[in-house]
Amino acid sequence: MAKTNYILASTPAEDLAIVQAMAEELKNYLLRGDVYHMLVVPRPGGEERLEMSLGDLFSRLHRLEVQADQLSPEERQRLEEVRQSIQETLRIMDSQALALAEREIKTRLNSLRWFLDECRDNRSYCRSEYPFEIRNRQRIQELLDAFGEKLSPELRRQVAEMDREIRSLIKPADFIWDDRVRDVYPQDKYWYLYALPG
């Protein structure tokens, strides 16, 4: 069966450039307090504008950690420096980061709820948009991994409830994203990336 997704993964080198730009902006981002922040990333062909959030930052860091063997020694050194800078900023601004992470999880849960409501009315739309919309659940996972028990029990309960709703809608499928990142997302943890709406 042909894949229905239109999500192409960034290369590790591209992720590193974006994570570096996010790290440089992280303190201002946390101080500003908006869940989503427009970021300008310098690229060889010109500047690229993209949306920054903690979930996106941790998602790219996760991919980089799994795919570090695809980076040059110099890039791996840069990644380590960037990771240390991010950890230091988050340590200093722990309460701001946690508050923003919780707001982002709520925002992404709301987006998933709206999508699931649409799914009940339009199954073909649901199936075609699922690979894109389920990014919200994957970003939530990165925030759960980063903040763990610091997150409120109520919020973790809401995520579990959302998972039950997603499970009631999907059927097993092959990995739905770009195969180049399949090893980044093992099926036991990222089960919703190995499924499509029935």
Q: Does residue 28 contact residue 83 with C-beta atoms inside 8 Å?
A: no
Evaluate whether 185 touches 138 at the Cβ level (below 8 Å): yes
What is the predicted pLDDT for the residue at 123?
87
Looking at residue 103, the DSSP 8-state letter turns out to be H
pLDDT of residue 163: 98
Residue 107 neighbours by CB under 8 Å, 6+ apart: 35
**pLDDT at residue 42 in the model:** 76
Q: Coil, strand or helix: which one is 40?
A: strand
Break the chain into its structural domains and give their ranges.
10-92, 95-198
Q: Are 144 and 159 in contact (CB under 8 A)?
A: yes
Amino acid identity, position 73: P
Chunked into runs of 10 residues, the chain (198 residues) has average pLDDT values of: 54 91 96 92 78 96 95 96 97 96 98 94 91 97 96 96 96 94 96 95
The pair of three-digit structure tokens given for residue 188, joined into one six-digit string: 């036991």
Q: Quote the CA–CA distance of 108 and 124 in Å, as a whole number.
A: 22
Q: How many CB atoms lie within 10 A of CB 70?
A: 14
